[in-house]
Every structure is written in C-alpha cells, then in structure tokens.
C-alpha cells in the first residue's frame, strides 16, 4: 500500500484531460485560464472518477460499470458533464473520469466519497484547481 505522501504526490503530478472540441488539461495548483475562457460562466468544477477505489484495483469492466453508475447519478442530478481522463506523469496509469461544471464542493465531496475515492480535483474561479481529500 502506498503511503499518503506518495499518493498525494501522484495526484499532484497527474494531468486531468477534459475531452472537448479542444482538449483542456487541468493540473492541481494551477489557475485554469483556458478552462475559464472556454466556459465563461463557470463558477466551480470537479474532476471525479469511480475507478479503482483505493486500495482496490478493479478490472476494466468493473471500472467502466462504476463510471456508468457515476454518470447516471450526475445526469439524474442535472449536472453538465464531460468525459475526461486522469493520466499519470509517466503515462503508465490512467483512469476515465468526468468533468462536472458548476458543482459545489459539498456535492463533489459527497459523490467522490460515495464512489470510494480518496481524493478528487475541485476548482473555482478564485482558488483554481485544488486537491481535495475525502478523509475516508
């Protein structure tokens, strides 16, 4: 099992790609000027996956089923969502994810926790992209 500092470093080094007409990459700790230009009315956002709830590493089928459940939940709640992918710095690891427009921190935290995630990317216009732990 990885130590929390190593896991945190992995999240910080990950590239979070949003699949739009023009792909946008988010990085934790950065202020996403390109994202705000693309979504001029965006106030907050999250990048969440249902894949591989730590410490479990699931099969692709299991992960895809979990992400289908996540997408159904997001659609039922009327969130504007876009597919994305989190890719590790060394490009040896990736997880299909969803970029969620104008979700508040409490809702993002709840959804991430519901799917057993240790952390997620959350951002707003003032603070930019932040790493948020679910403290499970």
Residue 7 near residue 54 (C-beta atoms within 8 A): yes
Number of domains composing the chain: 1
- β-strand partners of 121: 47, 131
Residue 68 lies in a domain: no
Alpha helices in 14-126 (DSSP H): 33-38, 60-76, 105-114
Rounded Cα distance between 116 and 136, Å, is: 8
Q: 111 is in which domain, residue-wise?
A: 1-49+76-90+107-136
Asked if pLDDT for residue 49 goes beyond 60, the answer is: yes
Bond from prior residue into 55 cis (ω within 30 degrees of 0) = yes
User: Averaged over 22-40, what is the pLDDT?
Assistant: 97
Residue 37 lies in a domain: yes
Residue 69 lies in a domain: no
Q: What is the pTM of this model?
A: 0.94
- β-strand partners of 83: 98
Residue 24 near residue 121 (C-beta atoms within 8 A): no
* Residue 25, burial from CB neighbour count under 10 angstroms (0-12, 13-18, 19+): middle
Residue 97 lies in a domain: no
Banded pLDDT at 130 (limits 50, 70, 90): very high
Residue 116 lies in a domain: yes
Residue with tokens 């159904």: 72
Residue 65 lies in a domain: no
Per-residue pLDDT, 136: 53
Rounded Cα distance between 71 and 65, Å, is: 10
């Amino acid at each position: 099992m990885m130590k929390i500092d190593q896991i945190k470093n992995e999240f910080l080094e990950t590239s979070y790609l949003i699949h739009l007409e023009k792909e946008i990459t988010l990085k934790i700790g950065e202020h996403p000027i390109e994202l705000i230009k693309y979504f001029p009315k965006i106030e907050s956002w999250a990048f969440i996956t249902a894949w591989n709830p730590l410490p479990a590493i699931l099969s692709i089928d299991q992960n895809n089923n979990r992400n289908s459940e996540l997408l159904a939940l997001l659609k039922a709640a009327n969130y504007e969502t876009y597919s994305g992918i989190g890719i590790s710095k060394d490009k040896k690891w990736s997880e299909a994810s969803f970029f969620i427009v104008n979700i508040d921190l409490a809702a993002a935290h709840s959804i991430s926790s519901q799917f057993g995630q240790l952390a997620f990317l959350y951002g707003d216009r003032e603070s930019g992209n932040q790493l948020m732990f679910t403290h499970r």
